Amino acid sequence: MEDFYDIKASKIDGQSVCLFGIFDGHGGSRAAEYLKEHLFDNLMKHPEFFKNPKFAISDTYQQTDRDFLASERDTFRDDGSTASTAVLVGNHLYVANVGDSRTIISKAGKAIPLSEDHKPNRSDERKRIESAGGVVMWAGTWRVGGVLAMSRAFGNRMLKQFVVAEPEIQDQEVDQDFELLVLASDGLWDVVPNEDAVLIAQTEEDPEGAARKLTETAFGRGSADNITCIVVKFHHDKADPEEPPPSPPQQDFEVKPESEETEENDKADSPPEECQQTSKEEPHITQQS
């Protein structure tokens, strides 16, 4: 299996930080595994993480890509990976994406994508690749150099001049309209539209049931790829109208990752220990298996 996920919850300088990531490998699993092991640790150590989160995320993505390529320079491997990540700092959400994994939110019942798939036939991506001297051609689907079916990725040394690891980043302030967050590999999105994903996830009260139902739906619709999915459900504090609202408002949510291989149904990774912690001061993350 070439898909990995990572979930971390921490408190840095008194600030609650939660990080969620989907890493979908191609040509091997090493790049995706490297991201699981290093990306979020590198980000939380970045000196600009709190001062300028967007810069820190972009810089960390690209430096981690360079580190991975350096670690693999004496091998004959040339695998790569996507990364779709959501970073919650207090009540501010930052979503960064490289590749064709995707993150969406449900806000007031509406599915809103917070990332755009990096496909070679995207007009802006094709222009960037061709300006760098690359070629986008049809080989069963649109591919960079006739090889890779995405326009940005970690790794992929032979195509690195064209296939960059610079993320596109969107940010949102989390408010009372935020209902849930879904991160998934393209094994889900190939057969489950954004609106369907929200409707399906909303039929389940808990994130475990929502993530499992999403992966089962994708499998049942004939997905030909590995399927990895994280569901985060937000539970907002209800303020007493006769009392002043708390400051800052407490965010409470549950998380469930689900991972499935199309050839080996219902295979899931073990949840990392960092996400099983709870306290009155931090966001409450419930990990269910």
- Taking 60 as the threshold, does the pLDDT of residue 214 lie above it? yes
* Cα separation, 228 vs 158, whole angstroms: 27
> Region 145-158: what's the mean pLDDT?
96
User: Of 209, 218, 208, nearest to 102 (Cα)?
Assistant: 218
Reported residue count of the chain is 289
Q: Which pLDDT value is given to residue 76?
A: 87
List Cβ<8 Å contacts ≥24 apart for 156-163. Answer: 156/27, 156/78, 156/79, 156/80, 157/69, 157/72, 157/78, 158/78, 159/134, 160/69, 161/132, 161/133, 161/134, 162/129, 162/132, 162/133, 162/134, 163/80
HSE, CB side, 13 Å, CA atoms: give it for residue 30.
16
Contact predicate 184/227, CB 8 Å: yes
Higher pLDDT, residue 162 or 237: 162
For residues 88-110, give the mean pLDDT. 96
Domains defined for the chain, CATH in brackets: 3-118+160-276 (3.60.40.10), 119-152 (no CATH)
Residue 277 has pLDDT above 90, yes or no: no
Residue 249: its pLDDT value, please? 39
Cis ω for the linkage preceding 248 (within 30 of 0): yes
- What's the pLDDT at 247? 41
pTM: 0.84
Whole-number pLDDT of residue 36:
98
Look up residue 143 and give its two tokens.
């591919």
Q: At 75, is the pLDDT very low, low, confident or very high (cuts 50, 70, 90)? A: confident
**pLDDT confidence of residue 285:** 36
Distance CA 68, CA 66 (A): 5
Per-residue pLDDT, averaged over 197-225, amounts to 95
The residue among 258 and 178 whose pLDDT is bigger is 178
Three-state secondary structure call for residue 124: helix
**Predicted pLDDT at 288:** 32
Lowest mean pLDDT among 134-138, 197-201, 279-283: 279-283
Please state the rounded mean pLDDT for residues 128-133: 97
**What is the number of helices (H) and of strands (E) in the chain?**
6, 14
What's the average model confidence in pLDDT over 161-166? 98
Task: Quickly state the pLDDT bin for 260 (edges 50, 70, 90).
Answer: low
The predicted pLDDT at position 256 comes to 54
Instruction: Give me the mean pLDDT over the 3-13 stretch.
Output: 92
Residue 172: C-alpha distances to residues 57, 107, 175 (Å): 15, 11, 9
Predicted confidence (pLDDT) per residue in 34-46, tens digit = 999 999 999 999 9
How sure is the predictor about 265, in pLDDT bands with cuts at 50, 70 and 90? very low
Backbone dihedral region of 146: left (phi > 0), alpha (psi from -120 to 50 degrees) or beta? left
Instruction: Confirm if 190 and 227 have CB atoms less than 8 A apart.
Output: no
Whole-number average pLDDT of the chain: 86
Given pLDDT bands bounded at 50, 70 and 90, which one contains residue 166?
very high
